[in-house]
């Protein structure tokens, strides 16, 4: 009898472990965008084994999504890219009955995200931020004086300033739909304009400072700013704060600042979504729901320095982060932020052509 029970227990255990081993999830997220232990905690809680890959460009993610059969179950496009990918049928509708933690989300921010995804049917906010300027306070002051316009897009788009900063290193995001509108705003144009002539004027601003730009890249600047290898980066809020944090831990006297330029800046939402061809939709829902756990979201914000949209997580977010106006801007600054524009194919082609010319000179 004992032997039968032992055999039955063994069979049951093997079934459980075979089941757990079967449960897998493929996540594709931005680089430097999750706490060290988030995935481990999810695996321990659910028994689902996660493969976690990273990217640093919406264009790269979009190419994979439009090609299909990416193999990914959860991806994190920015709201504007999300919208046109939804229109292309890339994403599955969320089954909200599997997302009880939706109750933790900030209704105002989810309403803002609904401008890109009607009824929040396909996606949930992961983190949000702004695209501004990260700078090495001492290196910039040495070249431009104490009155350096670190609060203005003129710091990087005025050739007189950019020329003086060339030797210490200026970097731009390799993100045409963010850089060209920022240059348009510097000129006093509507950064959301889709008029060809406005986009061309913005691109011309960047072409003029092109000789002074060290590189166009969307993740390398974190370590380069932190190490003093570059002095000014147009970058994403949390990434610049990560650079600041690394610099202060290294104790080499490098101080990094982040500014949302006085003319205004882009505010964006990165959204968790499930590709329509995902083979692990239950696991994907479990992951999205897990991320919306208030403590898990707070841990991520505390690690990556990005604002989240999870109201219930706020008591667990470090005070230093909640108080930082570069992460959670004041209402006055918020009023100057603009939302990502969703470009149609024609405008997208114009932007791609202008960007290629900026980067290659052709």
Contacting residues toward ligand SPD, per CB under 6 A: 30-33, 78, 178, 236, 239, 268, 270
User: Closest separation between CB of residue 290 and ligand SPD, Å?
Assistant: 19
Q: Which is nearer to ligand SPD, 72 or 236 (CB)?
A: 236
Q: Which is nearer to ligand SPD, 212 or 216 (CB)?
A: 216
Q: Which is nearer to ligand SPD, 269 or 287 (CB)?
A: 269
Query: How far apart are alpha carbons 121 and 94 in whole angstroms?
Result: 6
User: Closest separation between CB of residue 222 and ligand SPD, Å?
Assistant: 8
- Which residue stretches of 23-136 are H helix? 38-46, 58-67, 79-87, 107-113
User: Closest separation between CB of residue 120 and ligand SPD, Å?
Assistant: 19
Q: Which is nearer to ligand SPD, 277 or 348 (CB)?
A: 348
**By the 8 A CB rule, do 123 and 85 touch?**
no
User: Closest separation between CB of residue 35 and ligand SPD, Å?
Assistant: 13
User: Closest separation between CB of residue 221 and ligand SPD, Å?
Assistant: 10
- The Cα angle at residue 70 between residues 66 and 73, in degrees rounded to 5: 110
Q: Which is nearer to ligand SPD, 31 or 263 (CB)?
A: 31
Q: Which is nearer to ligand SPD, 172 or 268 (CB)?
A: 268
**Cα 315 to the chain's mean position, in Å?**
23
Q: Which is nearer to ligand SPD, 270 or 283 (CB)?
A: 270
**By the 8 A CB rule, do 116 and 269 touch?**
yes
**By the 8 A CB rule, do 275 and 93 touch?**
no
**By the 8 A CB rule, do 336 and 263 touch?**
yes
- Give the C-alpha distances (Å, rounded to integers) separating 75 from 48, 65, 307, 345: 17, 9, 19, 22
**By the 8 A CB rule, do 243 and 256 touch?**
yes
User: Closest separation between CB of residue 268 and ligand SPD, Å?
Assistant: 4
φ, ψ of residue 208 in degrees (nearest 5): -65, -35
Nearest to 158 by CA among 232, 268, 215: 232
Q: Which is nearer to ligand SPD, 61 or 292 (CB)?
A: 61
Q: Which residues of 177-189 are buried (b: 16+ CB within 10 A; e: fewer)?
A: bbbbbbbbbbeeb
Six-digit token string for 60? 């790269």
DSSP string, 175-210: -HHHHHHHHHHHTTS-TT---HHHHHHHHHHHHHHG
User: Closest separation between CB of residue 78 and ligand SPD, Å?
Assistant: 4
Residue bearing tokens 């255990």: 13
For residue 74, list its beta bridge partners. Answer: 27
User: Closest separation between CB of residue 347 and ligand SPD, Å?
Assistant: 16
């Amino acid at each position: 009898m004992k032997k039968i029970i032992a055999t039955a227990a063994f069979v049951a255990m093997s079934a459980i472990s075979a089941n757990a081993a079967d449960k897998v999830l493929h996540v594709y997220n931005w680089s430097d965008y999750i706490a060290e232990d988030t995935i481990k905690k999810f695996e321990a809680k659910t028994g689902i084994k996660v493969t976690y890959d990273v990217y640093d460009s919406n264009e790269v993610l979009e190419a994979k999504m439009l090609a299909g059969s990416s193999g990914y179950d959860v991806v994190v496009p920015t709201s504007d890219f999300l919208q046109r990918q939804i229109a292309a049928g890339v994403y599955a509708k969320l089954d909200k009955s599997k997302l009880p933690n939706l109750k933790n989300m900030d209704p105002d921010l989810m309403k803002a995200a609904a401008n890109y995804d009607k009824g929040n049917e396909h996606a949930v906010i992961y983190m949000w931020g702004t695209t501004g300027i990260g700078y090495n306070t001492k290196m910039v002051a040495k070249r431009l004086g104490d009155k350096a316009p670190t609060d203005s897009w003129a710091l990087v788009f005025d050739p007189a300033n950019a020329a003086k900063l060339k030797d210490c290193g200026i970097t731009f995001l390799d993100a045409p739909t963010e850089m060209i509108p920022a240059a348009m705003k510097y000129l006093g144009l509507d950064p959301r304009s889709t008029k060809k002539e406005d986009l061309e004027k913005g691109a011309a601003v960047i072409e003029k400072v092109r000789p002074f730009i060290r590189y166009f890249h969307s993740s390398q600047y974190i370590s380069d700013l932190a190490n003093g290898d570059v002095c000014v980066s147009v970058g994403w809020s949390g990434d610049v704060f990560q650079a600041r944090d690394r610099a202060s831990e290294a104790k080499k006297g490098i101080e990094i600042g982040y500014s949302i330029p006085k003319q205004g800046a882009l505010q964006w939402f990165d959204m968790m979504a499930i590709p329509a061809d995902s083979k692990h939709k239950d696991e994907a829902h479990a992951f999205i729901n897990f991320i919306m756990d208030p403590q898990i979201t707070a841990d991520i914000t505390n690690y990556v320095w990005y604002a989240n949209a999870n109201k219930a997580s706020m008591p667990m977010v470090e005070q230093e982060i909640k108080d930082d106006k570069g992460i959670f801007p004041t209402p006055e600054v918020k009023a100057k932020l603009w939302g990502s524009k969703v470009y149609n194919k024609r405008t997208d082609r114009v932007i791609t052509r202008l960007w290629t010319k900026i980067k290659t000179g052709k």
